[in-house]
């Protein structure tokens, strides 16, 4: 009889721990769709990112975040960049977003040697990067 009671208690304990663990992976606030911009920098560790997410109320526990990554062998898959995250996202949605590469904000533009200001303006205008009048205004007056 003692073995049966012990077995039932252990089973209940394991079941309870499993449910608590899974609840840590739920959305912090399923009703809050506020977009929060998170910057992941080069060299940022999963622990540092977990703390940042916790500080911004995006995960309930930073250790749950790092544990989630380790369990799924994703701790080396985090991408750097700016991400829009929400408290309504569960752990799976957050991690899926953070491991998906983001498009760079960087634009590469080559200005050929010998180009004068008017040539540069035409080049920038042809790439839809500037408003010509505003550009000349800023050149004359400054910001």
- What's residue 5's pLDDT? 72
pLDDT at 126: 87
Distance of alpha carbon 86 from the chain centroid: 10
- Tell me the pLDDT tens digit for each residue of 85-121: 999 999 999 999 999 987 766 778 888 899 998 898 8
Identify whether residues 91 and 115 lie together within a single domain.
no
Distance CA 126, CA 128 (A): 5
Mean pLDDT of 71-77: 91
Question: Is the pTM above the cut of 0.75?
Answer: no
Residue 93: what pLDDT? 95
Phi-psi region of 39 (alpha: psi -120 to 50; beta: other; left: phi over 0): beta
Q: Are residues 76 and 111 in the same domain?
A: no
Query: Per-residue confidence at 3, pLDDT binned at 50, 70, 90?
Result: confident
- Is residue 127 domain-resident? yes
Residues 94 and 33 in one domain: yes
Instruction: Evaluate whether residue 11 is within a structural domain.
Output: no
Is 121 domain-assigned? yes
For residue 121, what are the domain limits?
107-143
Question: How many separate domains does the chain show?
Answer: 2
Mean pLDDT, all residues of the chain: 85
16: in domain: no
Q: Are residues 114 and 136 in the same domain?
A: yes
Q: What is the CATH number of the domain that holds 71?
A: 3.30.1490.480
């Amino acid at each position: 009889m003692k073995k049966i009671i012990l077995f039932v208690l252990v089973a209940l304990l394991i079941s309870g721990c499993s449910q608590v663990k899974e609840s840590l992976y739920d959305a912090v606030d399923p009703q809050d769709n506020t977009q929060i911009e998170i910057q992941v920098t080069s060299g940022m560790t999963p622990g540092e990112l977990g703390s940042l997410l916790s500080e911004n109320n995006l995960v309930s526990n930073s250790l749950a975040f790092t544990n989630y990554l380790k369990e799924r062998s994703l701790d080396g898959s985090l991408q750097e960049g700016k991400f829009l995250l929400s408290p309504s996202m569960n752990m799976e949605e957050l991690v899926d977003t953070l491991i998906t590469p983001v498009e760079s904000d960087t634009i590469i533009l080559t200005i050929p040697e010998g180009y004068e200001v008017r040539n540069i303006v035409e080049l920038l205008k042809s790439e839809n990067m500037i408003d010509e009048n505003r550009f000349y205004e800023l050149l004359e007056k400054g910001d």
